[in-house]
Amino acid sequence: MNNTRLITRIFTDERVEAWRGRYFWVNTITSLLALASFLLYHGGVFPEPWTPAIALFQALCLVALIGETLGVYVASRALVEGWKQAPADTLALVVGVVMGLGLFVSSHWISGALTRAETFDAFALLTQAGLGAFVALRLLRAFSFVTHLAQSPLHVFLGSFAGLIALGTGLLMLPGAHTPGHPITFLDAFFTATSATCVTGLTVVDTGAAWTRFGQLVIITLVQIGGLGIMSFAAFFGLAFGRGMGVRGAAAVGEILNLELIGRVGRVTVWILGATFGFELLGVYLLYGHWVDDAGNMLPAGEQLYYSVFHSISAFCNAGFGLYSDSMVRYAGHWPVVLSISFLVVMGGLGFVVIMEVATYRFWAHPLVRRVPFLRRKVKNLRLPRLSLQSKIVLVTTFGLLLVGAAGFLVLEWNNTMRHLDPVDRFAAAVFQSMAARTAGFNSIDTVDTTTSTQFWTILLMLIGGSPGSVAGGIKTTTFFVMLLAVISTVRGRAPEAFKRRIPELLIRKSLVMLVLALTFIFVATLLLTITESEGMGAQKYGFEHILFEAASAFCTVGLSSGVSAELTPAGRLIIIACMYIGRIGPLTLVLAVGRRHVRKFEYPEEQVMIG
């Protein structure tokens, strides 16, 4: 019986693959044309009278894309096998059919709940939604295919970010992406697309005023994809399509996610998408109902939802993009917004591996619980729960930096930017700023008006950044912890140890390399900016500390600005763009990707050198 099922499955796979092979060019050409029409239509390229023709064209494209899914079911010769071969396509098709039937019942032809114009508009929106879903599934399938073919995973990683930046730049240059009163140059679009893809948050134009709703959606989409990483999307949908990733694909994603065990990549990738969308939905719930306009009036329901979704994604991805010109300054004493944004930023900066371990940690089997008499029998046979050393270091360092950073801001800004706040709100602003300074980019106090000592304190926090395997930037909390531990251990004359575990010497050397590379990139960028901006508009207003602040913020993908970004010369903007790109992919990743590795056949003898 098992052999018969295996043979049947093999023949089914062959028929489905043969059908997909014959349908490949139809899928490819239709997807490209549909995507182009969708983006150009919403980008304001097509004139208004073309709308009915564009809607008909998109409907035909949707029918052509659905044809592949229907062909899969015909080739499978069974509903269950068809579902196994195309689960995502089937789910999208079923949802679309159900929504279409609901609209048909509500239309003016049946119940009359919708007018004729509303019916056509609703069906047009449903067609575009279905088209977007099917095109996205095919693009993500293509990304999954790339992971199978990748000869160098790091090169694919670098190229995917560069391609996403190029696509975002082109979309932001469309007429419908920016408002009529804010002309956008190519460099403005390039800078914004890089900042969004690299989840930095630095801007040269006002996000809420300069970009239309379409432009803002392009920005937040770049933030979402750039925050998670294209390779993570590819790995997840490789699993969703039932193909798996294979050893090479798993190794590629594992190298990007800093995972040593290939067997864990699939599980972690599912956790990445699940945790991301779960926390972002929670953020939308927490933020909804708290948004106000410039006059202090509550926004309507639709705008409340839009602002909640935008800022929830931006906060969890540690991007720092906001729809207000003053970021979060107006909410400095508004605890629901402050705490919600802070929670999302911290969760996004912990790292997905840490989130997975904490979420699956069996607290009920902890040794302390075993001491409780009536619980001892129930948990005595369970394995003792354990957090990895990385998770312990990340949790301790993150909590410690939040407290130390907040204390520093309280001391340095108590009688400066926080003087108009009451003591409780000052504490809230300090915690928010301590959280944001380590890679979020939001600010509840005006960064331009802070003291020089506060800006230097912020640079130190920005340099540390978030945790590995997260959307955050910087040298990472684990690197900071390992370097600090190495210094203390060297002074004490002992091997570096933490939580009853010894830190490998190789890890210390890697941490040192990461720190040196980060400082080198920041110092070189600062030197170049002092040259390019010597005659710029900001030269009269901003000193060296502001230039250093901007370079550190860009490289560490933080997004806080001391006011320099909007007044940079074209050459200065290109330097900041390079900082954001290199900072996002990581200096060590860049060196490993472009450098050639040679295995030497011999080693020279050692000789001591006097230092200090």
Q: Can you list the positions of beta strands (E) in 415-522?
A: 497-498, 501-502
With bands split at pLDDT 50, 70 and 90, how would you rate the model's confidence at 124?
confident
Give the three-class secondary structure for 272. helix
Would 296 be classed as within a structural domain?
Answer: no
Q: What is the pLDDT of residue 369?
A: 59
According to the model, what pLDDT value does residue 261 have?
A: 47
Cα separation, 539 vs 548, whole angstroms = 13
Backbone angles phi, psi at 178, to 5 degrees: -130, 155
pLDDT of residue 243: 47
Most distant CA atoms of the chain, gap in Å: 90
Residue that has been written with the tokens 């925050």 in this structure? 227
Give helix 153-172 / helix 186-197 axis angle, nearest 10°: 140
Is the Cβ–Cβ distance between 176 and 44 less than 8 Å?
Answer: yes
349: pLDDT strictly greater than 90: no
Range of 99-113, 117-131, 209-223 with top mean pLDDT = 209-223
> For the segment 384-430, what is each residue's pLDDT rounded down to a tens digit?
667 788 888 888 998 999 899 989 988 888 888 888 878 888 888 88
Question: Considering the domain boundaries, does residue 134 fall inside one?
Answer: yes
Q: How far is CA 516 from CA 107, 475, 524, 587, in A?
A: 65, 10, 12, 10
Check residue 506 and give its pLDDT.
Answer: 80
The dihedral built from the CA positions of residue 440, 441, 444 and 449, taken in this order, carries a sign that is positive
Asked whether residue 236 is domain-assigned, the answer is: no
| Residue 166: DSSP 8-state | H
How does residue 191 score in pLDDT terms, banded at 50, 70 and 90? Answer: very high
- Give the whole-angstrom CA distance, residue 57 versus residue 280: 34
Cα distances from 530 to residues 456, 535, 547, 582, in angstroms, run: 17, 9, 7, 20
Q: How far apart are CA 317 and CA 197, in angstroms?
A: 10
Tens-digit pLDDT profile for residues 21-49: 888 888 888 888 888 888 888 777 788 78
Q: Which two tokens stand for residue 150?
A: 């990748």
* Residue 287 structure tokens: 């933020």
Under 8 Å CB-to-CB from 576, ≥6 apart: which residues?
191, 202, 525, 529, 550, 551, 554, 565, 568
- Which pLDDT value is given to residue 32? 85
What SS3 class is residue 201?
coil
Last residue of a domain, one of 126, 149, 172: 149
The average pLDDT across 339-348 equals: 87
The answer to whether residue 163 is domain-embedded is no
In the listed set 113, 134, 149, which residue is the last one of a domain according to the structure?
Answer: 149
pLDDT (0 to 100) of residue 234: 54
- Closest by CA to 529, choosing from 488, 576, 470, is 576
- Among the ranges 337-346, 572-581, 586-595, which has the highest mean pLDDT value? 572-581
**Is there a domain that residue 487 lies in?**
yes
The tokens for 112 are: 């009359």
* Residues sharing a CB contact under 8 Å with residue 391, sequence separation 6 or more, in sequence order: 353, 354, 357, 358
Across residues 130-143, what is the average pLDDT?
76
What's the CA gap between 553 and 2, in Å, rounded? 59
The number of CA neighbours under 13 Å toward the Cβ of 422 is 3
Residue 130 lies in a domain: yes
Selected residue with higher pLDDT from 489 and 265:
489
Greater pLDDT, 314 or 326: 314
- pTM assigned to the model: 0.82
- Please tell me the chain's helix, strand, coil percentages from 3-state DSSP, rounded to the nearest 5: 70, 0, 30
The last residue of a domain, from among 96, 128, 149: 149
* DSSP 8-state class, residue 178: B
Rounded to whole angstroms, how far apart are CA atoms 194 and 191?
A: 5
How many Å separate Cα 584 from the centre of its chain? 10
Look at residue 339 and tell me if it is in a domain: no
Average pLDDT of the chain is 79
Instruction: Quick: pLDDT tens for 366-385.
Output: 666 566 665 666 666 666 66
For the ranges 11-20, 58-67, 400-409, the lowest mean pLDDT is seen at 11-20
pLDDT tens digits, residue range 442-459?
877 777 778 888 888 989
Q: How far apart are CA 196 and CA 440, in angstroms?
A: 12
Range of the domain at 437: 387-594
User: Domain count of the chain?
Assistant: 2
220 vs 497, residue with greater confidence: 220
- Residue 590: predicted pLDDT: 59
| Spatial CB neighbours of 271, under 8 Å, sequence gap ≥ 6 | 352, 355, 356
- List the single range of 62-76, 78-92, 274-288, 504-518 with lowest mean pLDDT: 78-92
The pLDDT, as a whole number, for residue 370 is 60
**25: in domain:** yes
**Position with higher pLDDT, 607 vs 415:** 415
pLDDT at 10 over 90: no
Closest CA to 589 of 412, 425, 468: 468
Task: State mean pLDDT over 246-272.
Answer: 55
User: Around Cβ 395, how many Cβ atoms within 10 Å?
Assistant: 17
Please state which of the ranges 87-91, 97-101, 409-413, 592-596 shows the lowest mean pLDDT. Answer: 592-596
Least confident residue range of 119-128, 178-187, 265-274, 536-545: 536-545
Radius of gyration of the chain (CA): 26
pLDDT tens profile 275-325: 888 899 999 999 998 888 877 788 888 888 889 999 999 989 888 888 888
Alpha-carbon gap, residue 266 to 250, rounded angstroms? 7
State percent of the chain over pLDDT 90. 9
Neighbours of 162 (CB within 10 A): 14
CB-CB contact of 417 with 446 (8 Å): yes
86-111: buried (b, 16+ CB within 10 Å) or exposed (e) per residue? bebbbebbeebeebeeebeebbeeee
Q: What is the pLDDT of residue 242?
A: 47
Assign 576 a pLDDT band (cuts: 50, 70, 90). Answer: very high
